[in-house]
Amino acid sequence: MSALVTYQSTRGVATVTIDRAERMNALDEAVVQGLNAAWRRFADSDDRVAVLRGAGERAFSVGADVKAPPRELWQGVPGIGVALDKPVIAAVHGWCIGGAYVIVQMCDLVVAADSTVFKYPEAQLGFTGGLVASAVARIPHKVAMEFMLLGEDFDAERALQAGMVNKVVPAGEELDAARAWAGVLAKSAPLVVTALKTLATQTLNKSPAEAGALARERLLRVAKSEDGAEGGRAFREKRTPVFRGR
């Protein structure tokens, strides 16, 4: 796991922290791969719920690092880079921009500090990964289009009205509020929680970019598998490969 993303487990609750405060938690390749590793650890662990937060006081994350952008930002997105049947709660404060909002919108619950400002400026900057289009399945269509296309600030109250977040709390209280909800989920029936999350995920429509990322994640797992390596070795050694389904 990258040093820029930390994972702490306490009583069934995982706290995943983007720890790059000096760069306002900008998402470079190391952060994205750190998030991917954290989601894999969470998926394989006994932790029942995860809380995602950003270090520092100024930002949850300002999105992709423009000086060193990640190769595949989707790999750090919960539920896309790594399939998850357990809930993720985002604790958000300060700036949450671009790709950082994509990560937040794919979380199951969102607690926002009253200092939070959401922004998606990519139409004004001339690039996009497209994953944000899944917002139309999660908030009202007209609001989603306004947010995606105009690049204007949505403060915490506007985000609450739009259904982008579940709760707004005073700045500095968002992590405790998210952990309080996580504590409820950690004590709830895990089979019910995972069943409801899975059914809800299957019910939500997926944008073409989201569906494409999910397909690419599956194909990358095949390409990086032990069987993939065995096939290459067998071809070079002119023998029949022995596949083990790993």
Look at residue 242 and tell me if it is in a domain.
no
Look at residue 44 and tell me if it is in a domain.
yes
Has residue 240 got a pLDDT over 90? no
Per-residue model confidence (pLDDT) at position 232: 83
Per-residue model confidence (pLDDT) at position 127: 85
Mean pLDDT of 157-166: 98
DSSP 26-63: -B-HHHHHHHHHHHHHHHHSS--EEEEEESSSSEEE--
Which of 126-130, 151-155, 221-225 comes out lowest in average pLDDT? 221-225
> What is the CATH classification number for the domain harbouring 18?
3.90.226.10
Per-residue model confidence (pLDDT) at position 1: 59
3-state secondary structure of 93: coil
pLDDT grade, residue 211 (50/70/90)?
confident
Q: Where are the beta strands (DSSP E) in 78-142?
A: 88-92, 95-97, 109-113, 117-119
Mean pLDDT of 219-224: 75
Look at residue 244 and tell me if it is in a domain.
no
Look at residue 62 and tell me if it is in a domain.
yes
pLDDT grade, residue 108 (50/70/90)?
very high
Closest CA relative to residue 32, chosen from 4, 60, 57, 51: 4
Handedness of CA 52, 177, 88, 91 (dihedral sign): negative
Pick 230 or 19 by higher pLDDT.
19
User: For 63-96, how does the pLDDT look when each residue is reduced to its tens digit (9 = 90+)?
Assistant: 999 999 999 999 999 999 999 999 999 999 999 9
Mean pLDDT of 10-37: 97
Look at residue 245 and tell me if it is in a domain.
no
Q: What is the mean pLDDT of the chain?
A: 94
- Which structural domain range is residue 72 located in? 5-237
Per-residue model confidence (pLDDT) at position 12: 97
Look at residue 118 and tell me if it is in a domain.
yes
Number of domains, the chain: 1
Closest CA relative to residue 232, chosen from 241, 219, 245, 221: 241
Mean pLDDT of 140-169: 98
Look at residue 243 and tell me if it is in a domain.
no
Has residue 13 got a pLDDT over 70? yes
Q: How far is CA 172 from CA 15, 94, 149, in A?
A: 16, 10, 30
Per-residue model confidence (pLDDT) at position 243: 83
Look at residue 217 and tell me if it is in a domain.
yes
pLDDT grade, residue 226 (50/70/90)?
confident
Per-residue model confidence (pLDDT) at position 124: 93
- Rounded to 5 degrees, φ, ψ at 167 are -150, 145
